[in-house]
């Protein structure tokens, strides 16, 4: 089983519809900013945001942060949220499917509805520090 413990930097992300059609990339595409730290004691913190200086008219800055106790079974990362930027996440389990592409950790959150369209996200992370 690959180890997820450490600090990871968001490299990029893609979003597609149920039909596999591309959607706007999450968190501003090439300007996406994010860090996730998972420690050996089972605590994690994640912060992601749209890093573009200017947001086009009609769009909002994509931002999320949360932390909590996590478990990882080699394929699924599940965090019981105990602090977060979106009150609706408090007390929920944030579940991500995990795979690896070379040295990159690939996280796939469950599909969600954005503006009436089901969106599938894939976020790729580079390990920047062991902790």
Enumerate domains of the chain plus CATH numbers.
6-129 (2.40.128)
C-alpha 58/C-alpha 47 separation (Å) is 23
For 11-45, give one letter per residue: b (16+ CB within 10 A) or e: ebbebeeeeeeebebbbbeeebebbbbbeeeeebb
pTM for the complete prediction?
A: 0.93
Task: Please choose, from the candidates 30, 36, 29, the residue with its C-alpha nearest in 3D space to the C-alpha of residue 8.
Answer: 36
What are the tens digits of pLDDT across the range 91-126?
999 999 999 999 999 999 999 998 899 999 999 999
Residue 101's alpha-carbon distances to 2, 46, 81, 84, 119, in angstroms, are 11, 20, 27, 28, 22
The mean of the pLDDT values for the chain is 95
For the ranges 40-44, 51-55, 111-115, the lowest mean pLDDT is seen at 111-115
């Amino acid at each position: 089983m690959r180890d997820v413990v450490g600090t990871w930097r968001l490299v990029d992300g893609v979003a597609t519809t149920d039909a596999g059609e591309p959607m706007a990339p999450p968190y501003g595409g090439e300007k996406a900013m994010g860090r996730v730290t998972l420690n050996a004691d089972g605590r994690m913190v994640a912060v992601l945001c749209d890093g573009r200086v200017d947001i086009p008219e009609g769009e909002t800055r994509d931002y999320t942060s949360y932390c909590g106790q996590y478990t990882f079974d080699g394929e699924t990362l599940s965090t019981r949220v105990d602090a977060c930027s979106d009150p609706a996440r408090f007390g929920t389990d944030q579940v991500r499917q995990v795979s690896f592409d070379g040295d990159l950790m690939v996280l796939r959150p469950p599909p969600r509805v954005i503006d009436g369209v089901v969106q599938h996200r894939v976020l790729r992370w580079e390990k920047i520090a062991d902790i």
